Amino acid sequence: MKKGKLELTWVGKDERVRLEPRVLAEDAAKSYGDPKAENMLIFGDNLLALKALEQDFAGRIKCIAIDPPYNTGNAFAQYDDGLEHSLWLSLMRDRLEQLKKLLDPEGTIWVCIDDDESHYLKILCDEVFGRQNFVANIVWQKKYGPANDAKWLSDSHDHILLFARDKEKWRPNLIPRSEEQLQDYKNPDNDPRGIWRASDLSAKTPSPSCMYPITGPNGKIYQPPPTRSWVVSKERFDELLRDNRIWFGVKGTGRPMVKKFLTEVKGGITVETWWPREFADDNKIAKYESKDLFDGDSFATPKPEKLLHRILQTATNDGDWVLDSFAGSGTTGAVAQKMGRKWIMCEMGEHCHTHIIPRLKAVIDGEQGGISPSVNWKGGGGFKYYRLAESLLVQDADLSTKDRPVYIINPRYNAVMLIRAICKIENFRYRNDGRMHGISSESRFLHITTQLLTQKYIDSLAEDIGPNQSLLIYATRCARGLHLPPNVEVKKIPRDLLAKCDFQEEK
């Protein structure tokens, strides 16, 4: 433990992989709806998917909402939820670090978890996002009643750890008032300013300037309650009285109250840290929603749509980007779609195809479950389905040994995939424009070739760039004795790529 700073330690904490930024390949047959839609469903390992997104989405995601494995030791139909504790910590640390890179400067991350790992996860998030950026631990009532078969106590809640990318820059949205809350506003005296509610005129902290008697319409004298004072001075009270903002009840015999007009109060309510089932639904509701969606073949551990609705209400506005890298049954994307947000989801389990895609198609077609009636959802939009490409470099089965692996370009890669992959690794923007395959600025370009790189080849490329521009060439083979202009650099495939990141084949 460092002085003044609490850090977790675990076996393997210092072991890190240099992630390969993989190519995302669209499978148009699985995409659905509006072909212009920007929403993305990515099938593949979520850590590699997050790295693949980094180039295009760093600093752009307004809200990350994830429901990672709780590490309870249980096995569910769609996934196993039991990792050795240190492995779970490494898994979460690596993903949280990548997620942080994607967060907007005014963005937030919301992480659902239960008591098994919540306290460790809080400290881990402190390390990644900074303890000063911790906003709140929201307590969500996931169960309505006790579990009578509980061995110890019946767990009735989950945690939602909320961190901001920069707490000083982020402010939550207000939540619209419910119909029940609006019922508190009435207009018994037909005030032309509209409906209002009576609010306490006394204050908890007494002020000497606000200690005075008030005479009611019936002549009764009212003093502040014991240990309290009025909330306004005598002069201000007289102004409110003349403006018909003081209420003594329908018969004029009640204690003085101040009128709060709906048109003058904040446009909603401040979000609290206790989310009862009436506010955000519970697991039972989530199960009903899942059964309705999947004809009884429900997802093992779904979250209710209303829970995600509350998160996105608080953290986003129309058109903002939302990301869920543990997509599960696709609740985050479904809710984001209905709320007019743009979304990205990552999932590596086969339920990506058995649950998420059918659900999203139903949403786009206008299904009326979950929050659909409350947000007046009529359908529309679309998404693109992407597969995470295989590793760019693979070991040559004929030449590699256990102690001396020999890498080659993945035979499954065509020329365009090769170019796009190297552009990502070198952080160039891919472009399909003549001989310059990538650009990192207005003055630096990238060219990639599997042909023999000769002096004539280099001189020809050099003619395409100006004196204040530079060129990086990646080649598999180079002729001897090449003379390079000062603004041209040559790198070899695969040697120089191996120095950039770790290339790991899928198991």
Q: Where are the domains of the chain?
A: 24-176+269-388, 179-264, 393-498
The pLDDT score that the predictor gives to residue 25 is 94
Same-fold call for 24-176+269-388 versus 393-498: no
Q: Tell me if 450 sits within 8 A of 408, measured CB to CB.
A: no
DSSP code, position 265: S
Give pTM, 2 decimals.
0.84
The pLDDT score that the predictor gives to residue 72 is 57
CATH 3.30.450 correct for 393-498: no
pLDDT score of 352 more than 90: yes
Contacts (Cβ under 8 Å, ≥6 apart) of 429 = 55, 423, 438, 439, 440
- The total of other beta-carbon atoms located within 10 Å of residue 481's CB is 6
Percent of the chain whose predicted confidence (pLDDT) is above 90: 76
Q: Residue 76 — pLDDT band, cuts 50, 70, 90? A: very low
The pLDDT score that the predictor gives to residue 10 is 87
CB crowding 453-475: b at 16 or more within 10 Å, else e: beeebbeebeeebeeebbbbbbb
Q: Tell me if 200 sits within 8 A of 257, measured CB to CB.
A: yes
Tokens 């790529």, located at residue: 497
CATH of span 24-176+269-388: 3.40.50.150
pLDDT tens-digit series, residues 191-231:
999 999 999 999 988 899 999 999 999 999 999 999 999 99
- The total of other beta-carbon atoms located within 10 Å of residue 267's CB is 10
Tokens 């509980």, located at residue: 150
